[in-house]
Structure 1
Amino acid sequence: MKLALAKQLTGIALASAFSVSVANAAMIDVTVSGPGVAEAEAAETDFLAFLKDTTTETFEGFTAATGSADQTTTINTSVGDFTQLQPGGDYPSEACNDGGFSCAGGLAILNSDTSPFSGRYPMPADADNQNWLDSMDSQQMQFSLASMYTAVGFYLTDPNDVGGIMNILFADQTEGTLDLGAVFDPSLASGSAFYVGIMSDVAISSLTFYTNDENDGFGIDNVTVGTVPEPGTLALLGLGLVGLGVMKRRKSSDTAC
């Protein structure tokens, strides 16, 4: 598979070396904005310009959680289901156990008025945008897309200290792995905002986030799913910085963090 080198989107292009085990393998393009509200918002605008038939979940239609009674293992949304696969925060003093919340209680829709976290917030920066979905320090969280979409984009807040991986499962049962530790620099200030965009010429089934720290998490907002208009679009983009950890392979029976 040949990747042309061209810069078309704002941010860092991460489509790098692939390990492919099928004859007609998918081409995948992953971009991550630079840190900061302005760069993240610009990246979202650029990413959406390439897509059609988009649906965006802003989480504004949900009532924000005020404690553990409002947490749940799975949150069903217009773009798909978000599920806590493994909780984190074993220690009672952790922030996800503050303010009536529980690290083991599942995911939560939060806003700034009720959040136990100081570094996570709604994106984009808009007065009408108040809510986001919080991982509540889950060690494993999965986003299963609602339909056969070939593109997904979203904001992440405070992800720089996750230090884990994001696994991308495709409809053809191949999968890709993005090394989050290589993308989100731990030296960045807490509370940084990023926009992540993923495009493929094969439908994306799910994204699974694995963290290496049980007392760490992130916020996710404005999740958009859609389709790449033409298969050739990815070939024209061909974005790539070698060595940043995206590997494509056949799905195995289990994935280790």
Structure 2
Amino acid sequence: MHPTILSVPVLLAAFTAAPVMAIPTIYTDIASFDSALGAPSDILDDFNDVSTTFGGFTQLTLPINRGDYSLTNQIGTIWANDGGLPNTVDGSDFLLLGDLFVANPAGFTVSFSSPVIAFGFDYNNSGGNEVNLDVTSGVFNQTLTVQDPVNFFGVVFDAPVSSLALRKDPGSFAGIDNFRIPGQAAVTVPEPGTAVLVGLGLAGLNLRARRRWRHS
């Protein structure tokens, strides 16, 4: 077979075999989020060390390094809550966006130490009045209505992201808890078959070039 006929279909097969995600996909329950990832997600931070790390119910000053990620770009008032308020997200410690002057916005940026393809968290209303929570990353933006009972938000991105911003609009408090990222089993590894197909295609193109050079 002539190398020209071999190389082009092989290269086309290689690139069409690679999965491509079109747009970020939103999930409102953990089961669907985990199913999309192909494995149970890992809890990146449950904030249950508030008492030992921050000293209890206290107002935070960012940036704060939490190991696998950092909290940066502070907007308004953010609290580390050790359960002192009745409306906890899951019955344990959590973050609280807002202050006594609930007309003010509040928020932060989650900056990951390694880019992630998905992110999720639990949230609820800790003040009584409904409030909007904007979740943003690059061109992605989603507005959540924060209310009781506890809700889940998850997004699987079209490409790895290094940061994601959460901003509470004026109106009330918003409780945030249980940051989630893909589990280890969900990490996608390129299929060997794809690499082999690309290699064969490049080899075909190289062979064609060499034959042209010899006959020139």
Tell me which residue corresponds to 2:180: 224
**Once the two structures are aligned, what percentage of the paired residues are identical?**
17
Cα-Cα RMSD: 3.3
| Higher-Rg member (1/2) | 2
Gaps of 5+ in 1: 1-23, 33-42, 88-102, 170-174, 232-257
Structure 2 distance, partners of 1:142, 1:74, is 9
Q: CA deviation at 1:152?
A: 0.8
How many residues align? The count is: 158
Secondary structure of 2:152 counterpart: strand
Tell me which residue corresponds to 1:31: 27
Gaps of 5+ in 2: 1-19, 100-104, 190-216
Tell me which residue corresponds to 2:205: none
Q: TM-score, normalization: structure 2?
A: 0.59
Residue 61 to residue 176, structure 1, CA distance change in 2 (3 Å): same
Whether 1:195 and 2:157 are equivalent positions in the alignment is no
Residue 56 to residue 223, structure 1, CA distance change in 2 (3 Å): same
- How do 1:1-257 residues align onto structure 2 when only pairs under 5 Å count? 27-32=23-28, 43-49=29-35, 50-51=37-38, 54-63=42-51, 65-66=55-56, 68=58, 71-83=60-72, 85-87=74-76, 103=77, 107-112=78-83, 114-115=84-85, 118-119=86-87, 121-123=88-90, 130-137=92-99, 138-158=105-125, 161-169=130-138, 175-180=139-144, 184=145, 190-213=147-170, 215-226=171-182, 229-230=187-188
Q: CA deviation at 1:122?
A: 3.5
Secondary structure of 1:219 counterpart: strand
Secondary structure of 1:163 counterpart: strand
Contact 1:157 1:192 in 2 (8 A): yes
Q: CA deviation at 1:179?
A: 2.6
Secondary structure of 2:132 counterpart: coil
Structure 1 distance, partners of 2:153, 2:68, is 16
The residue type paired with residue 176 of structure 1 is F
Q: CA deviation at 1:148?
A: 1.3
Q: CA deviation at 1:79?
A: 3.8
The residue type paired with residue 47 of structure 2 is F
Which is strand-richer, 1 or 2?
2
Q: CA deviation at 1:26?
A: 5.0
Q: CA deviation at 1:198?
A: 0.8
Which is helix-richer, 1 or 2?
2
Residue 179 to residue 222, structure 1, CA distance change in 2 (3 Å): closer
Q: CA deviation at 1:193?
A: 0.8
Q: CA deviation at 1:226?
A: 2.1
The residue type paired with residue 86 of structure 1 is I
Secondary structure of 1:191 counterpart: coil
Structure 1 distance, partners of 2:169, 2:42, is 32
Residue 150 to residue 139, structure 1, CA distance change in 2 (3 Å): same
1:46-94 per-residue CA deviation (whole Å, 9 max, x = no partner) reads 42342458452111233254455x522233224412235221xxxxxxx
Residue 209 to residue 168, structure 1, CA distance change in 2 (3 Å): same
Residue 143 to residue 196, structure 1, CA distance change in 2 (3 Å): same
